[in-house]
Amino acid sequence: MDLYDCRQPPGPIDASVALPGSKSITNRVLITAALADGHSVLSNILLAEDTELMIGALRELGVSITLDRRESAVEV
């Protein structure tokens, strides 16, 4: 197996990435946003029972999440 040297960026990352809706991807980005420093806006997320449960679990852990169902977006 080849090893990949993952280097830390020199500063904050400011990026936009468009991905198709997916429960597993949505749950992963919710966790990533919850662990990141600062404010994250996730748009075009897939709202399903799995992702709603993840949002509830993160809120129980003290993560501030605002959900906009109409826009399929969250602020973390």
SS (H, E, C) the chain: CCCCCCCCCCCCCCCCCCCCCCHHHHHHHHHHHHHCCCCCEEECCCCCHHHHHHHHHHHHCCCCCEEECCCCEEEC
Tens digits of per-residue pLDDT, 7-21?
888 999 888 877 667
Contact (CB, 8 A) for 27 and 54: yes
37, pLDDT greater than 70: yes
Give the model's confidence band at 74: pLDDT under 50 very low, under 70 low, under 90 confident, else very high. very high
The pTM of the whole model exceeds 0.75: no
Tell me the C-alpha distance between 75 and 33, whole Å.
9
